[in-house]
Structure 1
Amino acid sequence: MRPILIIALFLLTTFSNAQVTLNPTDLKNLLAISQLYSQFPNGGDKFAKEAEKLRTPVLNHMVDALMVAGNGNKEILENRFLARPSDEELVLWYVIREIHYNRTNEKQAPRPDSTVANEVLSKKIDTRWLLDNYYYRIHGGIASLFNKADLVKYNFNIDEMGFKDETEKAIFFLNMMESLIGGRFKVLQAMKNNKSILEFAAKLPTFNGKAYYYYKRFDYEDFKWIGYDKEEFYNERHIGNLFSTLIAHFSALAGSGEKKAAQEVYFKSILHEPKYFKFTPLKDDLQSFYNQSK
Structure 2
Amino acid sequence: MIELAKDYKNFMFRNEPTKEILKEIKSNVPENLKTTSDFIAEAITSKNKLLSQSFLSRPENDILKQLYIIRAINFNIRKENQIDNNKLIDSLLNKNLSVYELIDNYYDMLFTSVGNKNQPFDLSKTNFKMNDYNFKDETEKGIMYLICMDFCSKTIWGYMNIVKPANTSKAYDYIKKFPKFNDQKYYQYTDFYFTDFEMEIVEGKGIQSYKSYYLDKYYETLLSHLLCLNKENKSEKEKNDLLLGSILKESNLYKYTKYQKILESIFEVHKIE
**Does the CA-based 8 Å contact 1:201-1:249 persist in structure 2?**
yes
What residue is the counterpart of 1:207 in the other structure? 181
| Cα distance between partner residues in 1 of 2:41 and 2:150 | 21
- Following superposition, the deviation at residue 104 of structure 1 comes to 3.4
**Does the CA-based 8 Å contact 1:251-1:262 persist in structure 2?**
no
Which of 85, 103, 125 is the equivalent residue of 1:153? Answer: 125
| Cα distance between partner residues in 2 of 1:164 and 1:59 | 23
Change (3 A) 1:120 1:47: farther
Q: Does 1:113 align with 2:85?
A: yes
Q: Which of 257-266 and 147-156 deviates more? A: 147-156
Change (3 A) 1:263 1:146: farther
* RMSD of equivalent CA atoms: 2.1
- Following superposition, the deviation at residue 93 of structure 1 comes to 0.7
What residue is the counterpart of 1:32 in the other structure? 3
Size of the aligned set, in residue pairs, is: 262
What residue is the counterpart of 1:142 in the other structure? 114
Change (3 A) 1:41 1:74: closer
State the TM-score, normalizing by the size of structure 1.
0.82
Which of 197, 204, 218 is the equivalent residue of 1:242? Answer: 218
| Cα distance between partner residues in 2 of 1:48 and 1:287 | 55
| Cα distance between partner residues in 1 of 2:130 and 2:12 | 27
Change (3 A) 1:275 1:69: same
| Cα distance between partner residues in 2 of 1:170 and 1:218 | 6
**Does the CA-based 8 Å contact 2:172-2:225 persist in structure 1?**
yes
- Following superposition, the deviation at residue 65 of structure 1 comes to 2.3
What residue is the counterpart of 1:14 in the other structure? none
| Cα distance between partner residues in 1 of 2:230 and 2:19 | 45
Q: How does 1:130-209 map to 2 (within 5 A)?
A: 130-144=102-116, 147-148=119-120, 150-179=122-151, 181-190=152-161, 191=163, 192-209=166-183
**Does the CA-based 8 Å contact 2:156-2:175 persist in structure 1?**
no
| Cα distance between partner residues in 2 of 1:116 and 1:59 | 18
Deviations 1:90-109 (A, max 9, x none): 00011012222333357xx3
Q: Give the match's secondary structure for 1:52.
A: helix
Which of 88, 92, 105 is the equivalent residue of 2:62? Answer: 88
- Following superposition, the deviation at residue 152 of structure 1 comes to 2.7
State the TM-score, normalizing by the size of structure 2.
0.88
Q: Give the match's secondary structure for 2:219.
A: helix
**Does the CA-based 8 Å contact 1:224-1:232 persist in structure 2?**
yes
What residue is the counterpart of 2:33 in the other structure? 59
Q: Give 5+ residue unaligned stretches, structure 2.
A: none
Q: Give 5+ residue unaligned stretches, structure 1.
A: 1-29
Letter in 1 for 2:52: E
Q: Which of 69-78 and 118-127 deviates more? A: 69-78
- Following superposition, the deviation at residue 292 of structure 1 comes to 2.6
Letter in 2 for 1:287: E
